[in-house]
Amino acid sequence: MPEQFDEAFWDERYRAHAALWSGDPNRHLVGEADGLAPGAALDVGCGEGADAIWLAERGWRVTAVDLSTVALERAASYAERVGVAARIDWVHGDLAIWDPGPAGYGLVSAQYLHLPSGVRQALFDRLAVAVAPGGTLVVVGHHPLDLQTTMPRPPEPDLYFTGDDVAARLNPEEWDIVTNAAMARSATDPEGRTVTIHDTVLRARRRLGP
């Protein structure tokens, strides 16, 4: 795994900020998962825990996985403060190799995981296997169109993906695609200019059976 994706890199990045992320759940997870009946959820690349905590507050029993122990400690402390610690299992794992096992979750969420394509595709394959029949897979990322903007994005096209890229790896006999979109939103670049960026949003439901 390249150094920029290893545990030391992410631990140091988290240590450099009192809070690296906003503390709010990712908007597309909220939009795609808000109406789902709660059960067991898997939040991969959970960071400081905002998504896992949002799910736990809505009745989900969450397994939240991240490479950074600094992020996990911060997330666990936040969950304690808001009273949902008992509903979340924090797991330290390298997503390049970590395997959640088969069919264990009613919801699997991967938000903004930008890994080299070979590693990412293998991970997404494992995440799809982890969704129980009738369950939901939600994958969100920066769309490749963002490379054409002035937003600070890694200048490596291999790190980006579309909904079609994710959907192409799901067996159409087993999955229904609910959402596949490049969703536009406004953002402010480092020079203070308002620009339009796009998020890849893929939501798929695993069928109950043949």
Q: Record the pTM.
A: 0.92
Residue given tokens 């930008």 in the structure block: 114
Rounded to whole angstroms, how far apart are CA atoms 101 and 47?
21
pLDDT of residue 20: 52
For residue 74, pLDDT beyond 60: yes
Residue 194's alpha-carbon distances to 65, 112, 161, 190, in angstroms, are 33, 21, 23, 10
> pLDDT tens for residues 130-160?
999 999 999 999 999 999 999 998 889 999 9
Mean of the per-residue pLDDT values for the chain? 92
For residue 2, pLDDT beyond 80: no
Rounded to whole angstroms, how far apart are CA atoms 113 and 132?
22
pLDDT of residue 1: 40
Mean pLDDT of 104-117: 96
